[in-house]
Amino acid sequence: MHDGFIKVAAATPKIRLADPAYNAQQIVKLMKEAAGLGVKVMVFPELCLTGYSCGDLFLQPTLIKGAEEALGTILKRTKKLDVVAAIGLPVEDTNHKLYNCAAIIHKGKLVDVVSKTYTPNYGEFYERRWFSSFEATPCPEDKDCCNIPLCGKDITMANQRMWRCDSVPNLMIGVEICEDLWGVEPPSGKLASAGATLILNLSASNEVIGKAAYRRELVKSQSARCICGYVYADAGEGESTADLVFAGHNLIAENGTILAENRFHTGLTISEIDVDKLAYERKRINTFPAYGDSSLWQTYMDEDIAVTCTDLTRTVAKNPFLPDDPAEQNARCEEILTIAALGLKQRLSHAGAKTAVLGLSGGLDSTLAALICARALDLLGRPRTDLLCVTMPCFGTTERTKGNAEILAERLGATLRTIDIGKAVTQHFADIGQDMSNHDVTFENAQARERTQVLMDIANQTGGLVVGTGDLSELALGWCTYNGDQMSMYAVNASIPKTLVRRVVAYGADTTGDEALAATLRDILATPVSPELLPAKDGEIAQKTEDLVGPYELHDFFLYHILRWAEPPRKVLRLAERAFAGEYDRATILKWLKTFYRRFFTQQFKRNAAPDGPKVGSVALSPRGDWRMPSDAVANLWLKELEGL
């Protein structure tokens, strides 16, 4: 459970109807299996000790007593299991009312009993024939609870309660039962407002065409709405098939993402819920209720869950900025192009700009900016000749990148100007006494600043606006020249990370319909990322960015997890090791993670002076709305945590 990960399971046992003793054996078997796999919290289906489809047998005292005895058996046989389990069974109170309940157990002890809030009585479900609605039949002393004797213990039953785990501060567990999720106001909403980060749902939901998709969306959306983990266990094999089929559709979701799913399944569905991430998100989103009903809080009465290191089975995406599905990726790319183009359209229109002036290098970033500019002009109904592309070869420019820039401008229908800045930079070096053979930072940055000056002056000449090309990854690392490529009048790529820049350009190549343009875009994609500020070697690029600052796929991974979820260094390293297993070893990941933290802190002054640019995703570094950090903050705390790892 280090780093906030809690291993959870939805369990569907193979049952026999009206045979609680047999069902208890199956439940214990799955609990032992789950414990062996490191599961700490698990949930079983609704009424699984008896079976959901027992019908009028629920009114038989023999079945109710048998269910209680079976629960007692489970308690005796799970004393050594450090697993919190929610088990469904019918429970009768002292007023002879029957309730559809969940028993919460831990280490052989009955912690609590929770009743179903909404008992359906429509369609194929006739629960009110047997079960009372808890809210409809309150005890005289308290409208929210009543006392019941169960397994030798007097329990104050409730329909809404949660359990705080002192050993894992961000783990707070709430329970709802099947129909509760379908209600207008699911109990999980109130539970989450009171602090519950993990909701368990004991369910017996039958299968009909289309219901699985609806059920999946319910679980997914409720986990997002409540910013919680949600574990849904469905009844399956052994239930009556007289009129209904139960398919064991088990789901585990976290804040709007399905982590694990099984359907037509018997056994365990396992994943890990990151309760620290959920706690952070609730802290970040100030519309999430600050206070809930503290009367719902309940601590474990005997022992807390033992804190162990949770083995991760959940998928950790290598590229968290992109969905896995190719169709969704294409839709994401189209949306990014549209959002960025709309932002630029508004800025060009508002500024009355006659041209969009763009430094076109033949590299990835300026290529994406050119595609966005072309789309913005199309939206404005203006000719693409208003896109003024300027290619400015100098000491490190290769024929490959220069040629690609020229073809790209031509195929887009832009106006192209070529201005060799070599003489101007050489004169500048003479003016300041810079040795031409000294290829230091001055040698590099002077070229970047000269290019920016040329673009700004051409914008003045043409009544235009300089469009910036720097991306989010470069901003995070400070891989840009202050008052050089760091500056523009509108930075269209500012919230697009390098890995996503690459994917959007690839999308442009796949969808353009212009074979010559597509071929050029693909060659640009195959070109090493470089600022081309050092002299070329044998006509080839001599300066490769990723050799100097590290792989962008790693840095984008770090960027996402550090900024989006505020995850600490140790956890970022652990997640990266899982995501990039077999590609980068621990030492390599650690090396570049340290580089990321050092550069991120020391380069904040560049971001604090960043120009406007359209936000396209949940991670951005605009100093005006997304990331506010002093330029003189130090990284010592973060780097110290990485020492010795």
Give the residue numbers annotated as catalytic, written as ranges: 46, 116, 178
Q: What residues contact residue 187 under an 8 Å CB cut-off, 6+ apart?
A: 117, 159, 160, 174, 176, 180
Looking at this protein, which amino acid is placed at residue 624?
R
Cα 15 from Cα 33, distance rounded (Å): 17
What the block records as the tokens of 114 is 């929770």
Task: State how beta strands 267-274 and 355-359 pair.
Answer: unpaired
What the block records as the tokens of 164 is 């705080």
Q: For residue 229, count CB atoms less than 10 angstroms from its CB and return exposed for 0-12, middle for 13-18, buried for 19 or more.
A: buried
End-to-end CA distance of the chain: 18
How many other C-beta atoms lie within 10 A of the C-beta of residue 279?
18
Task: State how beta strands 198-203 and 172-177 pair.
Answer: parallel
Q: What residues contact residue 180 under an 8 Å CB cut-off, 6+ apart?
A: 116, 117, 118, 186, 187, 188, 201
Cα 557 from Cα 619, distance rounded (Å): 12
Cα 334 from Cα 504, distance rounded (Å): 8
Q: Which residues sit opposite 126 in a β-bridge?
A: 121
DSSP string covering 348-369 = HHHHT-SEEEEE--SSHHHHHH
**Alpha-carbon dihedral sign for residues 325, 331, 337, 340:** negative
CB 199 within 8 A of CB 192: yes
Q: What residues contact residue 146 under an 8 Å CB cut-off, 6+ apart?
A: 93, 94, 95, 138, 139, 156, 157
Cα 242 from Cα 33, distance rounded (Å): 31
Tell me which residue has tokens 């109170």: 93
Q: What residues contact residue 251 under an 8 Å CB cut-off, 6+ apart?
A: 10, 215, 216, 219, 220, 230, 231, 232, 258, 260, 261, 269
CB 627 within 8 A of CB 619: no
Q: What are phi and psi of 176, to 5 degrees?
A: -135, 165
